[in-house]
């Protein structure tokens, strides 16, 4: 059994649970302490649904995975806001069902076209190289375009730290780094 509408609408339960779940400023330990206080304050110790979702906390509570590298993934809310913005541009709340379906098909087709163009560009074009480092070219071949652009900016920054002076020592190249005092 989920928590009732009365609890969500007549108390500050909903606000308090959102404050501990959807924050980046809480640790897993802090979440567990706040959860326990919340459960006690609303006398929900016997609620099996809340017990079940608490057991799954490491898979849905941001505090448990906030330090994980998401490699450019958007949060679900960002994705949802993006879609809401996209469809909000083409929909009229006073439209008839036929107008709605026509606008929907047009919007989806436009989005599909944009995605196909982006997919084509990612697959068949390469970003321009900004340094002469072999590492940059190798990174371009390995990473997706978006990730490569982040890596490329780091490679360029490294390149600005290295003097043109270098020497080859057996199978290695020794670079002399500028003094940053």
Per-residue pLDDT tens over the stretch 36-83: 999 999 999 988 888 888 998 887 888 887 766 655 554 566 666 777
**pLDDT for 28 beyond 50:** yes
Helix ranges (DSSP H) in 42-94:
48-55, 62-65, 76-90
The pLDDT, as a whole number, for residue 41 is 92
pLDDT tens digits, residue range 135-180? 888 888 888 888 888 899 888 887 776 655 667 788 887 776 666 5
Largest CA distance in the chain: 76
pTM of the model: 0.40
Domain ranges of the chain: 5-65, 76-124, 134-177
Res. 12: pLDDT tops 70:
yes
Q: Count the helices and strands in the chain (H runs, E runs).
A: 9, 2
**Which two three-digit tokens encode residue 51?**
């017990």
- Residue 5: per-residue pLDDT: 73
**Contact partners, residue 32, CB within 8 Å, separation at least 6:** 57
The per-residue pLDDT for 1 is: 43
CA-CA distance, 138 to 140, in Å (whole number)?
5
Q: Is the pLDDT of residue 181 over 60?
A: no
């Amino acid at each position: 059994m989920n928590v009732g509408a009365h609890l969500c609408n007549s108390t500050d339960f909903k606000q308090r649970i959102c404050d501990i779940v959807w924050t980046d400023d809480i640790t897993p330990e802090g979440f567990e302490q706040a959860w326990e206080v919340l459960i006690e304050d609303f006398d929900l110790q016997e609620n099996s649904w809340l017990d079940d979702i608490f057991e799954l906390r490491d898979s849905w509570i941001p505090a448990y995975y906030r330090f994980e590298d998401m490699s450019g993934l958007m949060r679900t809310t960002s994705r949802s806001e993006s879609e809401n913005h996209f469809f909000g541009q083409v929909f009229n709340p006073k439209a008839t069902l036929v107008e709605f379906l026509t606008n929907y098909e047009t919007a989806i087709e436009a989005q599909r076209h944009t995605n196909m163009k982006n997919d084509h560009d990612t697959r068949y074009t390469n970003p321009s190289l900004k340094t002469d480092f072999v590492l940059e070219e190798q990174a371009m071949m390995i990473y997706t375009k978006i990730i490569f652009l982040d890596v490329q900016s780091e490679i360029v920054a490294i390149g600005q730290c290295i003097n043109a002076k270098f020497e080859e020592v057996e199978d290695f190249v020794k670079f002399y780094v500028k003094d940053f005092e």
